[in-house]
Amino acid sequence: DAGVTQSPTHLIKTRGQQVTLRCSPISGHKSVSWYQQVLGQGPQFIFQYYEKEERGRGNFPDRFSARQFPNYSSELNVNALLLGDSALYLCASSLWSGNNQPQHFGDGTRLSIL
């Protein structure tokens, strides 16, 4: 079975642009979470979505938004890109939204801002 898939693998943007990152969860998984991992640091929680509704939000500005589709895939959008948005963006999925559910991570999207 396919794991969590993220696209694109690597993306280069310039300051002020907008970007959309995509995540397909493991088949049957209904909960998706997004994390930002700046180089040399641990991942930081951005969003959790379950059944197409936002179930949690981390301490990120409103330039960051996300949504989940009926097939449970998800998109992360970042507007007005800043140099500090350069990071690895990780997606994780699980069957349900509960905190006892194991999460499975994708390989991430490396976003570089010039």
Partner 1 sequence: AQTVTQSQPEMSVQEAETVTLSCTYDTSESDYYLFWYKQPPSRQMILVIRQEAYKQQNATENRFSVNFQKAAKSFSLKISDSQLGDAAMYFCAYRSAVQGIQGAQKLVFGQGTRLTINP
- Residue number, 14 or 72, with CB nearest to partner 1: 72
d(CA 58, CA 3): 25
- Residue number, 17 or 54, with CB nearest to partner 1: 54
Least separation in angstroms between CB 16 and partner 1: 27
d(CA 86, CA 13): 9
Binder among 48, 72, 76, 85 for partner 1 (CB under 8 A): 48
Structure tokens at 31: 């909960």
Residue 106 contacts by C-beta under 8 Å, 6 or more apart in sequence?
Answer: 3, 4, 5, 6, 23, 90, 91, 92
Q: Which of residues 1-40 bind partner 1 (CB under 8 A)?
A: 31, 33, 35, 40
CA–CA–CA angle 66, 68, 74 (5° rounding): 75
- Residue number, 44 or 86, with CB nearest to partner 1: 44
Least separation in angstroms between CB 50 and partner 1: 9
Residue 90 binds to partner 1 (criterion: CB under 8 A)? yes
| Under 8 Å between Cβ of 87 and 34 | no
Residues that bind partner 1 (CB under 8 A): 31, 33, 35, 40-45, 48, 55-58, 88, 90, 92, 94, 97-103, 105-108, 110
